[in-house]
Structure 1
Amino acid sequence: MVNVVSKIKNKINSDIHLKELLKGSSIAFVLRILGIIAGYIFTLLVTRGYGAEAMGIFALSFTLLQISSVIGRLGMDTALLRFVAEYSSQGKWVVVKDIYEKAIKLVLPFSIIISILIFFLSGYIAEFVFKKPHLEPYFKIASIGIVPFVLLFIHTESLRGLKKIKEYMFLQQTGIFILASIILGVLTFSIFPINSNINLNKLPVSVYIFSVFIFSIIAYFMWKKYLKEGYSQAGKEISTSNSLPYPYILSVSLPMLFSSSLALIMGWTDTIMLGIFRTEEEVGIYNVALRVSMITSLSLMAINTIAAPKFAEFWGRKDLEGLAKVAQQSTKLIFWISFPILLLFLIFPEQILGIFGEEFKTGAVALMILTVGQFVNAAAGSVGYILQMTGHQKFHQNVILIGTIINVILNYVLIPNYGIVGAAVASMVSVMFWNAVFSIKVKNILGKWIFLWS
């Protein structure tokens, strides 16, 4: 046993990239776990304090916020992840600074326009899209959070490009729900018993938006600190030859915007269509089942946090062999962490959902189906990021487009008759489709499969 442990340690220490992958993904995993716990505490506060209907209202408002902010980011968050990782690793901080400034000049006015439009169109969206006019005030609250949500992702993805994994994970994945849970808990237990006649369903959305504001400000100052440190090392003013033109930056970011928008729409099409065809209670139950199922691909999220900037590094150095090796190592880690979670959720779905309340046990079948889809997503490895970090963002975009069309059609056909089970099936089939196509493309790029059994 001692010899085995010693061999493992020697292997890790002798491989700098594996060591960095394990260290970064371990930090991301721990912080992601904390974020999930905080998220489930927040969900429990909403479901236990206000019921499934309030959870459904929050889910629909959160969906609107996410979709709007993805459009507002113009794909610059993922583009900055790639560019910052690629150029900072080469010491080209003047290029990093220039790209960041151009990204802000494009994103900030655009996201402000979207925020204003959503605010004034909230009534139309609530009435004509969801046929639920009472959702208008909740959508207006969500619209106020679009600009800070956009800037939060711009700055945290830039930090991720610098491999500042602790900062990235805490600011984007963990801190918001911790702060929101604390505030919502205090307000729920202090206000609810006294003011039972006021509409407290606005509290979850308002508290979340406030938390986004706070962490967006923190992320900005943290990024400026690291950018200043790196730029001061460059020791010279930016020259025209070092500058990337706007058309080139947009040629990278816009396909990423399209992919992100489609992936998000596909991820939330089930929630939106459930909101159109079914009740808020069903939306709330499904949303909880979806959140729980995503634990299966938790290892994928954690490892992608550090793997994505490393893929960009290897691609910038034209080191396909190194890229393939890191991809295979990350896939093995993801598979063996995800497999036990898959078994747990398939064996005890009702008991797990029962934690959130008796009414949520009806989502057991949906949880099992969603879990299978998430496991396939995890077992395929970091194929999506490999494509985006290696200049194949347009192929990625086209596959996501086809997957979105499949998802929308299946949701439209299945949800009216099968409810949350139909939504889960649509989600699982779409995820399996795009991961299969991505895997084949990555094999063609790297010259080898990155599956566990390869």
Structure 2
Amino acid sequence: MPTLKRKIYWNLILSYGGLLISSFLGYLANILLARKISLKEFGDFSTIWGFLILFSIFLDLGWSSVAQRYIPKFNIRKKNGNIKEIIIVSSVSLLFNGLISLIILFFLSGLISDLLKIKNSNLFFIFFAGIIVMVLENLYKTFVKSFQDIKNVNFGEIIRGIIYLSGIFFYLNNNSNLTKLSKILFVSYFIEIIFFIKILFPKIRGEKLKLSSKRIKIYFIYGFLTIGIGFNNYILNNIDILMLSVIKDNISVANYKVAVNIFKIFVTLFSGIFVFFTPLIGELYAKRDFEILKELIEKIYLFLLAGMVPIFSTLIIYPMVYINIIYGTKYYRAYGGLSLLSFGLIFLILSYINNGILYAIGKPKEILKITIVGTIINVILNLTLIPFTGLYGAAFATSISNFFMWIYTFFVSRKELKFNVNGWKLLNFLIAGLIFIIIMVGFRMLLDWSIWIKGPISFAVALIVYSIYIFITKTITREDIKKLVKI
């Protein structure tokens, strides 16, 4: 394997490994937090943080995207003075924007706290400090990543995760939990910033700062163009939580957040497909190896569906097992929400694959269009359903928007590459999934055993029948496995 290709794939492995470890620490900290504080506190925290994330878009102003685009170019050309310019100007811009945001928050905090049902409006100011250091941390992490220093990026993320997890474990008790949590967040992000500064300083030390109003103007224009994507993603990821808070209550927010977090754990696990296959798709597209590329995409679809259907089915049938084990029985209202979210899991993962295809062939504008469509559908459904069905409406809206995003991305990527996914095989997966669910539901309804006995037994029986059906109908064959390995 050529040195450049080996380096690319090694960086991908490091990135995904670091993502898994840091995500695991983050999920573990979130689980511990949800267990240690009350439902109301967890709902208030989720609502406050979800609202304040909106300010992160204004604080950053697209500087992370500027760094990703220009720092690698300047690094190759040995223009470290220009890199210094980006680092200093973006840092000053962020702090200035933070001051303006704080003034805006000061005048609006009373209205916002009433709207979001937060009794203590001071919590918005307390957590705002955490938002500032979070955005600054993300900016400096992007700087380090732009130098292809993936190892130190991962190390910094893991350090922060350990500090945050340890702080929740040792520091939180029954008094002033949210105030203490804000301090833990601030310290964990601040220490990571210091670590990244130590990594960056030797790279730009001794370089003369080169300020150019023309370049800075270009940076600002490019950054502003990316704000739309950030705002759209914010709406897509947070609108349901804010609507639940405004229309219902923060207890509903807490239960919904728990269901979403379990959903995201599986999204993170399957995101490795997106990470590893995007550069390979890009390479095949550049070489115009369209036949191999079409075959690769079809095989990714088949094997991804084969792995996801059993997991998807258990989330639908036994959501209480996942929630009770991970978060505890006090979040029992999240059971139905997790089942409904699970319907959208497969579609979200498949849309990620389609997004990877579009990224790899240089069609990022299509992804923006897709997320806008998904956001509009999500907002309309949330406004329609939440007043009547609460968190179940929010979960259903998310699944439906994921389904439409998959449909959109599928047809756009198919139009670009003209690949085909065998319709009969997709139908067989649907039938196999229904068989899997029927077997598990049958065991659950007919056997009066402990869930800890009939759950694993029903899963094992369903998995055996599912596997036999897949191979008998030749939905997946040995030849498919050999071809994927060969590619």
TM-score by length of 1: 0.77
Which of residues 64, 73, 76 is equivalent to 2:60?
73
Residue matched to 2:433: none
Change (3 A) 1:376 1:251: farther
Contact 2:85 2:209 in 1 (8 A): no
Which of residues 256, 259, 262 is equivalent to 1:292?
262
Q: Deviations over 1:48-102 (max 9, x none)?
A: 2222211111211221332211221112213322333455467665654544444
Looking at structure 2, the residues matched to 441 and 97 of structure 1 have their Cα atoms a distance apart, in angstroms, of 40
Which of residues 177, 202, 217 is equivalent to 1:200?
177
Deviation at 1:47, TM superposition (A): 2.6
Looking at structure 1, the residues matched to 294 and 186 of structure 2 have their Cα atoms a distance apart, in angstroms, of 37
Deviation at 1:439, TM superposition (A): 4.6
Equivalence map 1:367-446=2 (5 Å): 367-381=338-352, 383-384=354-355, 394-442=365-413
Contact 1:73 1:111 in 2 (8 A): no
Deviation at 1:376, TM superposition (A): 2.1
Q: Aligned AA for 2:230?
A: S
Deviation at 1:394, TM superposition (A): 5.0
Contact 1:35 1:177 in 2 (8 A): yes
Deviation at 1:144, TM superposition (A): 1.5
- Structure showing greater Rg: 2
Looking at structure 1, the residues matched to 184 and 211 of structure 2 have their Cα atoms a distance apart, in angstroms, of 45
Change (3 A) 1:237 1:260: closer
Which of residues 223, 231, 235 is equivalent to 1:265?
235
Deviation at 1:160, TM superposition (A): 2.6
Residue matched to 1:134: 119
1:183 aligns with 2:159: no
Change (3 A) 1:121 1:395: same
Residue matched to 2:333: 362
Looking at structure 1, the residues matched to 300 and 201 of structure 2 have their Cα atoms a distance apart, in angstroms, of 36
Residue matched to 1:164: 149
Contact 1:296 1:338 in 2 (8 A): no
Contact 2:323 2:332 in 1 (8 A): yes
Contact 2:39 2:251 in 1 (8 A): yes
**Which structure 2 residue ranges, 5 or more long, are not aligned?**
426-483
Change (3 A) 1:220 1:448: farther
- Secondary structure in 2 matching 1:134: coil
- Secondary structure in 1 matching 2:230: helix
Q: Deviations over 1:348-386 (max 9, x none)?
A: 321011121113233223213323424322223355477
Structure 1 window deviating more from structure 2 (38-47 vs 299-308): it is: 299-308
Q: Deviations over 1:158-202 (max 9, x none)?
A: 333333333334434x443321221121123xxx3xxx6x43343
Change (3 A) 1:116 1:332: farther
Percent of aligned positions that are identical? 20
Which of residues 219, 226, 229 is equivalent to 1:249?
219
Residue matched to 2:204: 228
Q: Aligned AA for 2:403?
A: M
Q: Aligned AA for 1:164?
A: D
Q: Aligned AA for 2:336?
A: V
Q: Deviations over 1:5-30 (max 9, x none)?
A: xxxxxxxx47963x556533433343
Change (3 A) 1:238 1:202: closer
Q: Aligned AA for 1:154?
A: L
Q: Deviations over 1:380-402 (max 9, x none)?
A: 33554776788755554444333
Which of residues 130, 137, 142 is equivalent to 1:152?
137
Change (3 A) 1:155 1:419: same
Q: Aligned AA for 2:138?
A: F
Deviation at 1:289, TM superposition (A): 0.9
Which of residues 195, 201, 205 is equivalent to 1:218?
195
Looking at structure 2, the residues matched to 41 and 208 of structure 1 have their Cα atoms a distance apart, in angstroms, of 15
Give the superposed CA RMSD: 4.2
Change (3 A) 1:148 1:350: same
User: Comparing both chains, which one has the higher relative contact order based on Cα–Cα distances under 8 Å and sequence gaps of 6 or more?
Assistant: 1
TM-score by length of 2: 0.72
Looking at structure 1, the residues matched to 198 and 298 of structure 2 have their Cα atoms a distance apart, in angstroms, of 32
Contact 2:294 2:419 in 1 (8 A): no
Change (3 A) 1:175 1:156: same
1:60 aligns with 2:47: yes
Looking at structure 2, the residues matched to 303 and 93 of structure 1 have their Cα atoms a distance apart, in angstroms, of 35
Contact 1:25 1:303 in 2 (8 A): no
**Which structure 1 residue ranges, 5 or more long, are not aligned?**
1-12
Q: Aligned AA for 2:322?
A: I
Change (3 A) 1:441 1:159: farther
